[in-house]
Structure formats: C-alpha cells, structure tokens
Structure 1
Amino acid sequence: MGFGTRHLQAPKSRWGGVTIGVERAMKYLGLVLDGRWNFVEHFRRLGPKLEKAGAAFKRLLPNLGGPNALCRKLYAGVMRFMALYGAPVWARSVRPRAVHYLNVPQRVIAIRLIRGYRTISREAAGLLAGLPPWDLEARVFLRLYDWREEAQRRGENPLPRQVVAQRAELRRDLMVAWRERLSQPSAGHATIVAVSPLFEEWLGRSHGALTYRMTQVLTGHGCFGRYLHRIDREEAPGCHHCADSPEDTVDHTVQVCPAWEGHRRVLVEALSGGDLSRPALVQAMVRP
C-alpha cells in the first residue's frame, strides 16, 4: 500500500478573528525574537541588510575622490544605528555567532572610511577609522539603560547633565575594553602596534584625515612588492626601482628606496627628525 506525500503546514492560531502563524521566531518592534532568546535569528536576518547597505556605500565612497571624511563618518553612522537598533534588549544575550553578523559589515564600512584595500583586517580598519566594535557599543547602551532603570526604581529622575556624565564614564570603559581587545589582535598587528601607544590621541584628534596613500603606508596593504606578491599580483616581492632589495615593503619604500628620495627629504623636514617608522609617522599625525 503506497502513501502519498503529505505536506505539513505550519501551525496557526486565531486571535480576535485574525489568523497568526506560529513560527520559530517572531518580529516585534523591529526585533526578531526566538524561543531561545539569543537573537541569532535577528542577526541572521539583519546581516544581509547591513551587507547590502555596505555594498551601496562602497559605490558611494571610492578610495580616490568621493566624499570627504566627515561625509564618510555620516554614512558609517547610518550603518551603526541600523546595527545597534534595540541594543539594550539583545546586548545581554548576544552570542558569538550573532557578533559575527555585526563584524562583517562593520569591517566593510571601516575600510570605506579609511580609503583602504578590502584585505585590511577588521581590527586594524576599525582602529584607524575610530570605530569601536559594535558589540562593545551595544553594552554601553545596555548599561546606560540599566542605570536609568535603577534610578527610576529608586524614584529618581536623572538630570540631563547626569546622563551626559554617565554616558561619558561608560564611554571610557568602552575604550578600555576595546584597547584590551586590541592587545591580542587576530590580524593587522603592524598597524595596531603603531597606533596603540597613542590610542587616546589617535581617537581624540580633531585634525587630519587619512588619504588613500597614507592608509597604504599605515597598513602595508597597497602598492608594495611584498603585498602584491602575496595577493598574486606580482611574480616576486622585490622593488621595481632598485635591484638590490629582495622585498619591497613599507619600510623600504618610506625609508630606503632611492626613487622616493625627494619626497623623503620633505617628509624628514616636516617631522623634524630622521625616524620614518610607522609609529613615528602616527606620532607626527596626532601632534597638534
């Protein structure tokens, strides 16, 4: 006796004359809630939206030309608010898998901010762009929400200046957590080592903006023989300008290669010294 294929339909419930499908997750006020309350499904659905927005911004924010640094930060803010919507609700239960859905688009927009190559690591790009990890920012929103709730339970209504002070304190805690995370990066070590000693100064500077060429120097991802050889764009890592260099690196280009002697002389005069290492360049950039 044969049995025909049976199509199982999702269960439904009827409330007030309205039929509601019973599913593994439901959307409420912009948040996707699931039975385990871990918000993985929320970020699984949010991830493609953020990636789509990031792809659109890539077309709007070319490495050469395009909007200035202030406008790029505005676009980054749009993605940040998309990603952190409802943070006080989900930040307490967020899982590593959900954080991954945040990291991917944040890396994209950070690279657009600094006019960098797409191979730059998320940690290095975020540091250069001044974008703290979104999962750490979500904790700030959560802690601020908890602080306000606790004050209201005591019958208090925090004044605006108290809210500002509390937000500033939580921001300092965020920077400490971010810096600690950067002490053990998964990639982008040279860039992070160069910037980390001047972490606060770099993030707090109010002058200067990264250019396409400057980002190449700080990251090593650019028109250097070693990098181009690594991504199979050059047959050998050597320098095109001097035959005695086995590898064309950032240090070789900035400090040694005779092809850039004229530019180097101007740079040395501007820095008032002969140290052209990446940490020295960062120090000069944050100087008022």
Structure 2
Amino acid sequence: MSIPFRLSALRTISGFQTVSYEAATVLAGMLPEDILAKEMEKIYMARKATGDAVSMDVIRRRNGEINFHLTQIFTGHGGYRKYLHRLSQEDSPECPNCPNLDENPERVLYQCSRYREVVGSVPPPEGVVAFMLEEEE
C-alpha cells in the first residue's frame, strides 16, 4: 500500500488518519492497489498480444455519496466520546445523557435520547447497506 493512494482515499471520504486503508478504499469506492495493479497488467498484456486498444471499465458509485458525517458513522472515527477517549481527548467514553453507556455511532443513532427526533429517518442497522444500494427513483 502506498501512502499517496491511502491519503487519496482518506481525502475522498473526508476521513481521519486513523481510518484503516481497507475501510478508506471501500468507502471511497476505490479498488485496492494490488487488485488495480493486476487489472492494469491484464490490460497491458492484452494490448501487447493483440495490438488492439483495450479499455478498462471504470468502477463508479451508482448512487449516493459519501461525506464527512457518513464516514464518521461508518468508521466510528469522529466526534464520539468513545473514540475521543481512546485518543485521550475526552475524560470518559460515556454518553452525557445515558449514564454507564459509551457514546458511539450506533448508540447515538438508535438509542440515545438526544437524537430521537432524527432516528425516524434512519434505516435499522441491518438495513443500512440495502438502503444505500437501492436505486433512486
């Protein structure tokens, strides 16, 4: 994995440096470098063998976009006390409204009383991926 490729993925998703290479490339919709290199080798070999111009199909996200907030939710790296406590930026990982419970993305979206009004528009955890892959009408 090269540093520029990882940084490009992180910038695409507006992610923190602590987001893993794998998570960053998946969220950015980028092929991992090793797969990309093998694909480019196949194309080169096909061009060399036939002399024809062979084009690589570009993988594009069909719908939806990733943004800073979605990146924080999917990775758990963001303004959540559990994450900030791990980085020694917060004294406690606990939610200020829910004693003895850590503040993390899933709790904030589905259980915390501070965000009850917003929760109605969020699909259940097991349906998030299906919701994101639905075709727009």
TM class by shorter chain equals 0.7 to 0.9
Aligned partner of 1:248 in structure 2 is 103
Does the Cα contact within 8 Å between 1:205 and 1:286 map onto a contact in 2? no
Identify the structure with the greater strand proportion.
1
Counterpart residue identity of residue 234, structure 1: E
Higher-Rg member (1/2): 1
Q: Rate the CA distance shift 1:205–1:130 in 2: closer, same or farther, 3 A.
A: closer
Aligned partner of 2:70 in structure 1 is 214
Which whole-Å CA distance do the structure 2 matches of 1:221 and 1:127 have between them? 15
Could you state the TM-score of these two structures normalised by the residue count of structure 2?
0.85
Q: Is the partner of 1:266 in helix, strand or coil?
A: coil
Does the Cα contact within 8 Å between 1:242 and 1:257 map onto a contact in 2? yes
Aligned partner of 1:237 in structure 2 is 93
Structural RMSD (CA): 2.0
Identify the structure with the greater helix proportion.
1
Percent of pairs with identical residues: 29
User: Residues 183-230 of structure 1, C-alpha deviation per residue, up to 9 Å, x if partnerless?
Assistant: xxxxxxxxxxxxxxxxxxxx6542221121111111111111211111
User: Residues 35-80 of structure 1, C-alpha deviation per residue, up to 9 Å, x if partnerless?
Assistant: xxxxxxxxxxxxxxxxxxxxxxxxxxxxxxxxxxxxxxxxxxxxxx
Q: 2:83 aligns with which of 220, 224, 227?
A: 227
Q: Which runs of 5+ in 1 are unaligned?
A: 1-99, 152-156, 172-202
Does structure 1 residue 105 correspond to structure 2 residue 9? no
User: Residues 4-35 of structure 1, C-alpha deviation per residue, up to 9 Å, x if partnerless?
Assistant: xxxxxxxxxxxxxxxxxxxxxxxxxxxxxxxx
Q: Which runs of 5+ in 2 are unaligned?
A: none
Does the Cα contact within 8 Å between 1:224 and 1:248 map onto a contact in 2? yes
Counterpart residue identity of residue 216, structure 1: Q
The number of aligned residues is 135
1 or 2 for the larger relative contact order (CA 8 Å, sep ≥6)? 2
